Amino acid sequence: MSGSGSGRDRELGEHRSIPRRDFLQGALVASGMVLGGPLLRAYAADAAAQDQAGYYPPALTGMRGSHPGSFEAAHALRDGAGVPRDLIDTGESYDLLVVGAGISGLSAAQFYRARTSPQARILLLDNHDDFGGHAKRNEFQLGGRLQLLNGGTMMIESPRPYSPVAAGLIQELGIDVEALAQKAAHPQFYAQAGLREGVFFDRETFGTDKLVAGKRSDPAVVAAYPVPPRVREDILRFETGAVDFMPGVPAADKKLRLSKLSYRDFLRDIVKVDPATLTFYQVLTHALWGVGIDAVTALDCWGVDLPGFKGMSLAPGSIARMGFTPAGFADTGGSKTFHFPDGNASIARLLVRSLLPDAVGGHTAEDIVTARVAYDRLDRAGSKIRLRLNSTVVQAANVGAGTQVTYLRSGRACTVRARHCVLACYNMMIPYLCPELPAAQKEALHSLVKTPLVYTSVALRNWEAFQKLGVSRVYAPGGYHTSFSLNWKVDIGSYHSPASPSEPVLLHMLRTPCRPGLTESEQHKAGRAELLVTPFATFERNIRDQLARALGGGGFDPARDIEAITVNRWAHGYAPEYNPLFDPDVPESQREWVRGRVPFGRIAIANSDAGGGAYTDVAIDQADRAVNELLHA
Ligand SMILES: Cc1cc2nc3c(=O)[nH]c(=O)nc-3n(C[C@H](O)[C@H](O)[C@H](O)COP(=O)(O)OP(=O)(O)OC[C@H]3O[C@@H](n4cnc5c(N)ncnc54)[C@H](O)[C@@H]3O)c2cc1C
């Protein structure tokens, strides 16, 4: 993004104090500097940090997601640091030890207790300062009112209906997805207020800064795009036309051919668009895949309803050469959907409430939204179930008739024993935790490269600029964040999201760093490397610059209108899914996640990684399988 120097800094408001920004630079902490001060109390990773008064990670702003302090120990282990020799034996012993307190780990604890005994003793360990894994809650107090956004896992949705086990758990937690969707969600709210989708063209990519409100399929809207006439024609032809771009090809062959072409190649070689049209569409696939149209098949794009296929007469249903997400949607249309104001963090919180009722108030799936978690009650001596944060597991081994796990917390290495262990953590890390695994299994686990994503939450003084400009969500093909949208309108229990443009609001922004031209997993590795060295200041600068330029025409002033920023940096985000462009055509049983998840003595492997699908129901189903493997071994 352009513009530098103190004048531009002031215009963008970088001199303005926003909570905690100045102290939470990922690079600063990652470089090993010891930080102090009350704002960082939660980051101090003190052994008892979660027990300290005021410990409340959902309200922290700055660099979140894989926050400073959460990943350094794991990276050191990867880099050969080895497990420390001075081990502190906690003397603790459990029936089950769960590594990773995301939805999969929490579900594993729930299933284990239900299938063994209400007296089961369970310890959950997580390296983050909050539980939920990707299902993380961003909480803000704006204008005296609570406002929420998902820091990661956004909603109940999946390419296929939830399995009986996953649907059963959701029901057991009191979530009636259909009823809540009817009652609490207002999907038409912004449209009824006259706000539409829009596109922001940036001058670096398109020669001028311009926001255009309206659908890409509307000729009057496309006429205002600052692109050459040929590109406008391409866009309209592609979005609205019903052209068969493969005339003469037998219907049955079309899908196979489309599964061997990237969407980009389909546009370039089959639809024959202008190169500038490719630029316009390059990031259309970022939200679902974390990579651009060069790394996703045309058929997979058809499966999730992207434009270009209206006239192709493609028969409904998937073929074998389709990714997990598009194949599921093509076959079933997907699961029921619902977005809690904090996304599926509400599911994580409901699971914690079920496991540790004293720690989370309330009784329903509605009051969970405003319930405050007592973090000091998550890990109490004497409790049958304990949830310990800021604890990175560095070793898991079968020892005697049970298992022993070593974790690092506050610079100390502690051991704990359990009869059974579920590794519900990132699967590609498991070879470092269990070096004695067979080489082929380690190789399979190592190859599970997750998708890096950044979900940025920006607290705004109001949304008057959006109203003036007539947009609620913006596609930004050349932007640092490639899309942004006003927070969902959801009213649930005593939680109410803003209804008037003069009220403060939260903005959700998406960035998925990648490097077009490489394979999908190589792009993810490049993106992750970029995230590791990108400080919060760079995000902040780009957010301010991008919003100033996109919304300036509506009177938006970043110096005045931005109240707080939370950058949810998920270097290890979506679980890997089959990509027909790069992955071999092998049966499911030979996929890396299936070969990698084989139980190992009294240790079983869960997490959505183990199911080859980046969805909450997959995380739950994998917990179910892992627990069954342990109990029926
Ligand atoms: C930005 C984003 C948006 C998403 N949106 C959706 C959505 O809308 N709907 C949907 O269904 N799915 C969505 N997903 C997919 C999401 O990953 C799953 O739905 C689900 O939350 C995954 O749960 P999990 O428990 O398998 O993994 P995770 O949530 O990753 O939990 C694993 C936990 O283990 C911890 N861990 C890892 N290593 C260690 C260690 N050595 N020691 C201790 N702890 C460790 C991790 O830090 C993490 O906290 C999204 C994912 C991301 C990243």
Pocket test of ligand 1: the residue of 77, 155, 425, 445 to mutate, having most ligand atoms within 8 Å of its CB, is 425
Please state the atom number of ligand 1 nearest to the C-alpha of residue 107: 25
Q: Give the pair of three-digit tokens for residue 239.
A: 């979005």
Ligand 1 centre to CA of 252 (Å) is 38
Q: How far apart are the CA of 487 and the centre of ligand 1, in A? A: 21
367: tokens are: 């009051």
In the chain (633 residues long), the average pLDDT of successive 10-residue segments reads: 54 67 33 29 55 96 97 95 93 98 99 98 98 98 96 98 98 98 97 98 98 97 98 96 93 94 98 97 98 98 97 96 98 98 98 98 97 97 97 97 96 96 98 98 98 98 98 98 98 97 98 98 98 98 98 98 98 98 96 98 98 98 98 92
Residue of 107, 387, 616 to test ligand 1 pocket, by largest number of atoms within 8 Å of CB: 616
What separation in Å is there between the alpha carbon of 241 and the centre of ligand 1? 39
- List helix spans (H) across 356-495: 430-433, 439-446, 464-469
pLDDT of the residue at 26:
29
Beta bridge partners of 495: 492
Which residues are near ligand 1 (CB < 6 Å)?
74, 99-105, 125-128, 133-135, 152-155, 157-158, 344, 392-393, 424-426, 429, 453, 455, 570, 573-574, 607-608, 614-616, 619
Measured in Å, residue 155 CA sits from the centre of ligand 1 at 13
Distance 351 CA to ligand 1 centre (A): 15
d(CA 550, CA 553): 7
pLDDT at 14: 73
Mutation choice for ligand 1 from 97, 110, 126, 134, CB with most ligand atoms inside 8 A: 134
Question: Which pLDDT score, from 0 to 100, does residue 241 have?
Answer: 86
Amino acid in the structure at residue 619: A
3-state secondary structure of 525: helix
Number of the ligand 1 atom closest to the C-alpha atom of 607 = 26
In degrees, rounded to 5, the angle at the alpha carbon of residue 298 between the alpha carbons of residues 297 and 299 is 90
Quick one: pLDDT at residue 13? Answer: 80
* Ligand 1 atom showing the smallest separation from residue 433 Cα: 41
pLDDT the model gives residue 258: 98
Ligand 1 centre and the CA of 104: distance in Å?
Answer: 8
Q: How far apart are CA 136 and CA 500, in angstroms?
A: 27
Residue 252 pLDDT = 83
Cα separation, 556 vs 579, whole angstroms: 41
Question: What residues contact 393, with CB distance under 8 A and at least 6 apart?
Answer: 99, 125, 127, 405, 406, 407, 425, 433
Q: Can you tell me whether residue 52 is helix, strand or coil?
A: coil
- Concatenating the DSSP letter of every residue in 82-143 gives ---S-EEEEEEEEEEEEE--BHHHHHHHHHHHHHS-TT--EEEE-SSSSSBTT--EEEEEET
Query: pTM of the entire structure?
Result: 0.95
